[in-house]
Amino acid sequence: MSQITHRTETRQVKVGNLVIGGNDQVVVQSMTTTKTDDIEATVSEIHRLEEAGCQIVRVACPDIPAAEAIPEIKKRINIPLVVDIHFDYRMALMAIEGGADKIRINPGNIGTREKVEEVVKAAKAKQIPIRIGVNAGSLERHILEKYGYPTADGMVESALHHIKILEELDFHDIVVSMKASDVHLAIEAYEKAAQAFSYPLHLGITESGTQFAGSVKSSAGLGAILSKGIGSTLRISLSADPVEEVKVGRELLKTFGLASNAATLISCPTCGRIEIDLISIANEVEEYISTIKAPVKVAVLGCAVNGPGEAREADIGIAGAKGEGLLFRHGEIIRKVPEEIMVDELKKEVDKIAEEHYAA
């Protein structure tokens, strides 16, 4: 792994109460699917996303009613709010004035120099960052003409074009995304971007598909990028309830040891030695720990033959035995519990360990 692509070497940018970049944290982001001007629906979806562990939320701002809804939405949610604007600088100004914690707009698309200056001045006054969103599917015409088709070099050139406009106005609170639907292209574009500039990168594979296929495709692509030490925020884009995006994003970060605010489930694949109804127990425990905001490792294993030893890294676990469960901590059995109450006992132990983390 190249030194200069490590995420700790990026510039730090504040988004609400979060610091993006300059550290080894990767923040999970999602985007609402409601009409932004339907304040009730948007706020309610954001609350569901917060509950699932979403740390930053983005809303689309396609028209004036959406821009007018920003102050009220902002007032009623607890996580930083990003407002996505395409071209219209007036909406960018309204969003900034309305309390957006970050705006996503490409300065090269705003229009005249005066309009760009006005947006940058407003963002500076409120100390909020601007995300430049490069998308392989909508590269500038002069770049497409130069390269013939969307390439990683063309995407980096597009990013640098927008970055230059902001830097010339002495604006540096910048986050950049380099989205592509093609996984190879996205990986190469993010690698080249991490070499070309030090602004934090927001990761995403765009139009990745349905809940199942999109989760696999996004995880494959973003996993490759994360493993190179690239990325400070990420969004899994799915044609599904955005809560699913958050769940997949958190799971992906857990896989790389990059989520300090989520519990992990270890469960065995089951085999002929199984002594309990493991699949339904694993699903119940997974659901239970999904809202825990501490790095607790929980194991659920079908039997005690290989069970506790195989899950030695678990903070707490249960292994099935005849008519009972064996509760274990870090591979050591601590007590036996009757089958009927073993899941409840496991949950109590999980809560205790999570409390210890919260108190620490």
| Residue set of the binding site for [4Fe-4S] cluster | 268, 271, 303, 310
Q: Does 313 bind ligand SF4 (CB under 6 A)?
A: no
Q: Is 161 exposed, middle or buried (0-12, 13-18, 19+ CB in 10 A)?
A: middle
What is the maximal distance between C-alpha atoms in the chain?
75
Which one of 127, 170, 269, 359 is in contact with ligand SF4 (CB under 6 A)?
Answer: 269
Segment (H or E) for 155: helix 152-168
302 is a contact residue toward ligand SF4 (CB under 6 A): yes
Is 148 one of the binding residues for ligand SF4 (CB under 6 A)? Answer: no
Query: Which one of 34-42, 186-194, 266-274, 290-298 is the stretch in contact with ligand SF4 (CB under 6 A)?
Result: 266-274
Q: What angle do CA 55, 21, 231 make, to 5 degrees?
A: 80
For residue 29, what are the β-bridge partners? 56
Question: Counting contacts by CB under 6 A, is residue 299 touching ligand SF4?
Answer: no
Of 235-243, 269-277, 280-288, 348-356, the window that binds ligand SF4 (rule: CB under 6 A) is 269-277
At 170, is the secondary structure helix, strand, or coil?
A: coil
307 touching ligand SF4, by CB under 6 A = yes
Q: Is 266 in the site for ligand SF4 (CB under 6 A)?
A: no
Count other Cβ atoms within 10 Å, centred on residue 289. 21
Nearer of residues 243 and 278 to ligand SF4, judged by Cβ: 278
Give the residue from 248, 156, 252, 177 showing the smallest Cα distance to 209: 248
Decide if residue 143 touches ligand SF4 (CB under 6 A).
Answer: no
Whole-angstrom distance, CA of residue 22 vs CA of residue 6: 9
Determine which helix (DSSP H) or strand (DSSP E) holds 213, and give its type and residue range.
helix 211-226
Helix axes 89-97, 64-76, angle to 10 degrees: 20
- Compute how many residues bind ligand SF4; rule: CB under 6 A: 12
Told to check if 279 binds ligand SF4 by CB under 6 A, we report no
Answer yes or no whether residue 270 interacts with ligand SF4 by CB under 6 A: yes
Q: Which position among 4, 213, 271, 334 is part of the footprint of ligand SF4 (CB under 6 A)?
A: 271
- Which CB, 192 or 297, lies closer to ligand SF4? 297
Rounded Cα gap, residues 328 and 316, in angstroms: 6
**Lookup: tokens for 31:** 């985007």
Could you say whether residue 334 binds ligand SF4 (CB under 6 A)? no
Q: With binding defined as CB under 6 A, does residue 273 bind ligand SF4? A: yes
> Is residue 306 part of the contact set for ligand SF4 (CB under 6 A)?
yes
Rounded-to-integer distance, Cα 6 and Cα 26, Å: 12
93 interacts with ligand SF4 by CB under 6 A: no
Q: Is 312 in the site for ligand SF4 (CB under 6 A)?
A: no
Interacting residue ranges for ligand SF4, rule: CB under 6 A: 268-271, 273-274, 301-303, 305-307
